[in-house]
Amino acid sequence: MPTTAAARDEIKRRVRKLKQAEIRIRFGSPGVPRRPGSPLVWDAFFDLDGKPGREARYHLDQLASMDRSAYAEMVGTFFWQVYFQLCRETGRVLPGLFDPAALARLGLPPTADRSAVNKRFRELAKTLHPDTGGDAERFIELMEQYQALVEP
């Protein structure tokens, strides 16, 4: 069912509030100056204008078709990514905090711990290993992703 213009405007308003929250979290904290041109996580997550060639995880049409639980999950993933970016920018290394984008490539939620990462790696390695009929290039990519996650 197509969404009305008013519903689309409401979605845009909510998503723009997420952008304001990210700016307050990342650049409103003491000791974290906003550098000109520093990219926002929001820019990689959302495309509300539908401009061609823009790479974003969620477009306005996708947001409009989400149910409440999918929207809540998307917001949670967004804030995990913002939190991770803030930790990287401030030089805080927290044990057990993994890059949410790397976890997503492995099919894991942003809250995954080390045991979940290891378990998923083993599952994928069994199917992608060349000795079991898997693709060697994809297996090498998996190894690189895993090493980037678990090695500091």
Q: Which range (48-52, 58-62, 143-147) has the least confidence?
A: 48-52
Residue 115 included in any domain: yes
Cβ-based neighbour number of residue 128 at 10 Å:
19
pLDDT for the residue 56: 80
DSSP 5-60: HHHHHHHHHHHHHHHHHHHHHHHSSTT-PPPTTPPPHHHHHEESS--TT---SEEH
pLDDT for the residue 30: 55
Task: State both tokens at 141.
Answer: 């990519």
Residues 37 and 70 grouped into a single domain: yes
Residues 37 and 86 grouped into a single domain: yes
- What is the domain range of residue 54? 5-90
Residues 65, 95: Cα–Cα separation, whole Å = 36
Q: What average pLDDT score do residues 98-124 get?
A: 85
Alpha-carbon distance values, 123 to 35, 116, 133, 140, 148 (Å): 41, 11, 14, 15, 18
Q: Which range (35-39, 100-104, 106-110) has the least confidence?
A: 35-39
Q: What is the pTM of this model?
A: 0.69
Residues 112 and 64 grouped into a single domain: no
Residue 23 included in any domain: yes
Q: What average pLDDT score do residues 59-70 get?
A: 88
pLDDT for the residue 1: 44
Q: What average pLDDT score do residues 13-22 get?
A: 90
Residues 52 and 122 grouped into a single domain: no
pLDDT for the residue 150: 79
Residue 88, amino acid: R
Residue 95 included in any domain: no
Percent of the chain, pLDDT > 90? 7
Residue 12 included in any domain: yes
Domain count, the chain: 2
Residues 74 and 133 grouped into a single domain: no
